[in-house]
Amino acid sequence: MKTAITELFGIQHPIIQGGMHYVGFAELAAAVSNAGGLGVITGLTQKTPELLAKEIARCRDMTDKPFGVNLTFLPSFTAPPYPEYIAAIKEGGVKAVETAGRSPEQYMPALKAAGIKVIHKCTSVRHSLKAEKIGCDAVSVDGFECGGHPGEDDIPNMILLPRAADELKIPFVASGGMADARSLVAALAMGAAGMNMGTRFIATKEAPVHDNVKQALVKATELDTVLVMRALRNTERVLKNKGVDGLLEIEREKGASLEIEDIHEQVAGVYPKVMVNGEMDAGAWSCGMVVGLINDIPTVKELIDRIMVEAEAIIRQRLTGFLDGVEVQKPPRAVA
Ligand SMILES: Cc1cc2nc3c(=O)[nH]c(=O)nc-3n(C[C@H](O)[C@H](O)[C@H](O)COP(=O)(O)O)c2cc1C
């Protein structure tokens, strides 16, 4: 399949793996790139620019295909040394960066001078238009369904994607709630040039996380995520667990006066506990509603191949079937 996104990043399939804290290590990024998508290393999971340089080198050893690095611009008292992270990306020969969080405007000259393609993750049309204006090459439009930070507008992708298509000139991928061929074909129909998946990629053989995490994703349904930190205007969609129950209790008690210090225990340092140790009740970690569509733990290649085979079948059989008057009742699935 050829789209503006496959052409922009020099990849075979229009599928991107979103940056994920403590998940987006070289193993997963290389597996996604080797399977024809764009794998992404999560920059800030590497505690220093030197460690990121090593992670990029490790990924380079595992794939000769293009891969990217995620740079998340967080509101924080002590900002990470972003220029040094960008230098590590540039020196590592990485040609794709997924930015997220705050606008990457101040870093665009450095990224562009290094010949890096920038895809900025946005949760609104206005932020997408700003990304286009400051020279981003593409946008990842992240709907309300998404795992992680959906912003504060609460617009799901059925509305957000066609709105983005109406307004944007640069290509965009659909992000949030994407799991399979049906997601991809729907995203393409709504104007996207591909899709970005986060949660789905965690439940794969290569994702370098504790098996408890993968099993929890297979077990959970679309009813098992919840929004936290709304009062802080830092809303995050997470998987429900005992730690999150405690967090919600504190949020109920504090109401609008909630401060980040009040929930420090439930949000700080949780990722290594969950992803490395498999402590599933440790606290808040990002997970999308799409968890309701995750029923297995395939290899990344099996997942991506299945998506592409089924997408072709949906387009060629089901959709053209409607035009030809031969209705295929259910979207064709390679795996029941
Ligand atoms: C466990 C987890 C950690 C994430 N960490 C980050 C991150 O560090 N930076 C970032 O930009 N996005 C992060 N995300 C968001 C993903 O890149 C992606 O935008 C999101 O998962 C898409 O929604 P989906 O989960 O429905 O596919 C994370 C998502 C998950 C599930």
The pLDDT value recorded for residue 313 is: 96
Q: What is the pLDDT of residues 42-56, one digit of tens each?
A: 999 999 999 999 999
The pLDDT value recorded for residue 332 is: 73
Q: What is the pLDDT of residues 120-129, one digit of tens each?
A: 999 999 999 9
β-pairing verdict for 117-122 and 138-142: parallel
The residues near 138 (Cβ < 8 Å, ≥ 6 apart) are 4, 5, 8, 117, 118, 119, 120, 170, 171, 172, 173, 193
Nearest to 312 by CA among 1, 80, 48: 1
336: pLDDT confidence band, cut at 50, 70 and 90?
A: very low
Bigger pLDDT: 74 or 17?
Answer: 17
Mutate which of 199, 209, 271 for ligand 1? The one with the most ligand atoms within 8 Å of its CB, which is 199
Q: What is the mean pLDDT of residues 283-311?
A: 98
Cα 176 to averaged position of ligand 1 atoms, centre (Å): 9
**For residues 55 and 4, what is the distance between their CA atoms, to the nearest angstrom?**
28
Cα 332 to averaged position of ligand 1 atoms, centre (Å): 28
Cα 12 to averaged position of ligand 1 atoms, centre (Å): 22
Q: What is the pLDDT of residues 53-75, one digit of tens each?
A: 999 999 999 999 999 999 999 87
Percent of residues, the chain, with pLDDT higher than 90: 95
Buried b (16+ CB within 10 A) or exposed e, 92-114: bebbbbbbbbebbbebbebbeeb
The pLDDT value recorded for residue 78 is: 79
Q: What is the pLDDT of residues 186-234, one digit of tens each?
A: 999 999 999 999 999 999 999 999 999 999 999 999 999 999 999 999 9
Query: Which tokens belong to 77?
Result: 């008292």
Residue whose pair of structure tokens reads 């496959």 in the numeric block:
6
| Closest C-alpha to ligand 1, atom 19 | 18
Ligand 1 atom at shortest distance from the alpha carbon of 45 = 8
Residue 173 has pLDDT above 80, yes or no: yes
Cα 286 to averaged position of ligand 1 atoms, centre (Å): 7
| Closest C-alpha to ligand 1, atom 11 | 100
Q: What is the pLDDT of residues 80-91, one digit of tens each?
A: 999 999 999 999
Contact 118, 97 (CB under 8 A): yes
pTM value surpassing 0.85? yes
Ligand 1 atom at shortest distance from the alpha carbon of 197 = 27
Nearest to 28 by CA among 202, 195, 211: 202
Cα 239 to averaged position of ligand 1 atoms, centre (Å): 12
CA dihedral 87, 92, 95, 99 (to 10 degrees): -50
Average pLDDT, the chain: 96
Mutate which of 16, 20, 144 for ligand 1? The one with the most ligand atoms within 8 Å of its CB, which is 20
The pLDDT value recorded for residue 27 is: 98
| 5, 29, 181, 198 from 71: Cα distances, Å | 19, 14, 28, 15
- Ligand 1 neighbours, Cβ below 6 Å, are 18-21, 23, 42, 70, 72, 100, 121, 142, 145-148, 175-178, 196-200, 285-288, 290
